[in-house]
Amino acid sequence: MRLPSLRYLRTFQVAGKHLSFKDAADELAISASAVSHQVRNLETFLGVPLFLRLTRALEFTDAGRKYFDFLDSMFFRLESETQQLWSQFGRNIVRLGVPPFFASQLLLPRLHSYQSDAADTDIRVTTRPSAINNHPPETDVSILLGNAPWPDCTAHRLFGRRMVVACSQSLLAREKIGSYGDLDGKTLIVHDSRPDAWKDWASTLGIRPPAPGRLLRSDSMSAIASAAKQGLGFALISWPLGRACFGNGRLVRVFDEEVETGEAFHLAYRKEDAERPDIVRLRSWVLEHFQNYA
């Protein structure tokens, strides 16, 4: 009997986990249309619809729910068996999932010290948008942004996330921002996954949200920081995570306030992996370097 493509099965499993083609695309690093196309090809192969496609959401059909439950457990077991194979017969490898901005600003610049301490273990770093705050089966350890608890995981709080208003030094000199109201009419840079960030910032301060002259949108914090450095507008930058962006003076803080978001970065791993030596070592290193980072 011919079997369906493993790639299509994996894509369906990830789409089923999120019930969203867009979120599945973010995790798989492909386009949402590619996710939809691959799922449609799987449905055509099986001759069975797996999803009900609603206006803004997906729902399982009865067949889709049954197939997803089977595939989800199958992929989890495949990951586990592969890890055990590596552990028994090959070099140890630990898989770390981390938001892109966390990776570029904190993790990668310090990773050499972990590699020096763990010469017998390879580390595989994958990035996932911070808006996806679940611990996936294909990673051993995750850095998650959100609020515990995660029922199937052990989570350690690292540090809280705050936001600061920033722009280029040259833009601040031209615009001469002296008060919150001076942001009215200016270009505000907005993260696609956090469209209400400026409203939330203003609400925390108890002020009226700024009325932008125009919006510049981006899908990553790294791109937002870069756009602000180029003088393209005013941005909300994650703090203290983005501290290094301010080091050369091109990016400056507009106001002194660091506004709390109510979110925090956490280190998470499955409870059954708590005593794995490679995870114990990575956990110790992450906590040593990033817990209570300020």
154: domain CATH number is: 3.40.190.290
User: Does residue 85 carry a pLDDT above 80?
Assistant: no
Residue 7 is encoded by which pair of tokens? 């790639």
Task: Flag whether 95 is in a domain.
Answer: yes
Domain finish residue from 83, 108, 142: 83
Nearest to 130 by CA among 165, 102, 104, 95: 102
pLDDT tens, position by position, 17-42: 999 999 898 888 888 899 999 999 99
Determine the structural domain holding residue 106 and report its residue range: 91-294
Question: Any long-range contacts for 14-19 (C-beta under 8 Å, 24+ apart)?
Answer: 15/39, 15/51, 15/58, 16/50, 16/51, 16/60, 16/64, 16/68, 16/71, 16/72, 17/72, 17/134, 17/136, 18/132, 19/57, 19/58, 19/59, 19/60
User: Does residue 82 carry a pLDDT above 80?
Assistant: no
Task: Flag whether 150 is in a domain.
Answer: yes
Q: Are residues 57 and 203 in the same domain?
A: no
**Is the separation of the CB atoms in 162 and 260 below 8 Å?**
yes
Domain finish residue from 83, 100, 118: 83
Q: Are residues 175 and 277 in the same domain?
A: yes
pLDDT cut 70: percent of the chain above it = 97
Across the range 76-100, mean pLDDT stands at 79
pLDDT at position 159: 96
Q: Are residues 78 and 153 in the same domain?
A: no
Task: Flag whether 1 is in a domain.
Answer: no
Global pTM reads 0.71
Mean pLDDT, the chain, rounded, equals: 91
User: Does residue 153 carry a pLDDT above 80?
Assistant: yes
Nearest to 118 by CA among 144, 91, 137, 139: 91
pLDDT at position 91: 64
Task: Flag whether 224 is in a domain.
Answer: yes
Domain finish residue from 30, 48, 83: 83
CATH code at 50? 1.10.10.10
User: Does residue 86 carry a pLDDT above 70?
Assistant: no
Q: Are residues 233 and 166 in the same domain?
A: yes
User: Does residue 87 carry a pLDDT above 70?
Assistant: no
Q: Are residues 189 and 152 in the same domain?
A: yes
Across the range 58-62, mean pLDDT stands at 94
**Residue 14 CB neighbours (<10 A):** 24
Q: Are residues 51 and 138 in the same domain?
A: no
pLDDT tens, position by position, 90-106: 667 889 999 999 999 99
Q: How far apart are CA 160 and CA 146, in angstroms?
A: 9
Task: Flag whether 147 is in a domain.
Answer: yes
Q: Are residues 118 and 253 in the same domain?
A: yes
How many domains does one find in the chain?
2
- Locate all alpha helices (DSSP H) within the chain, ordered by sequence: 6-18, 21-28, 32-46, 62-89, 100-102, 108-117, 169-175, 197-205, 221-229, 277-290
Query: Does the CA dihedral 263-269-274-279 come out positive or negative?
Result: negative
Q: Are residues 59 and 168 in the same domain?
A: no
Q: Are residues 44 and 67 in the same domain?
A: yes
Between residues 100 and 247, the one the model is more confident about? 100
Q: Are residues 165 and 73 in the same domain?
A: no
Across the range 246-266, mean pLDDT stands at 92
User: Does residue 110 carry a pLDDT above 70?
Assistant: yes
pLDDT at position 29: 81
Q: Are residues 41 and 102 in the same domain?
A: no
Q: Are residues 16 and 121 in the same domain?
A: no
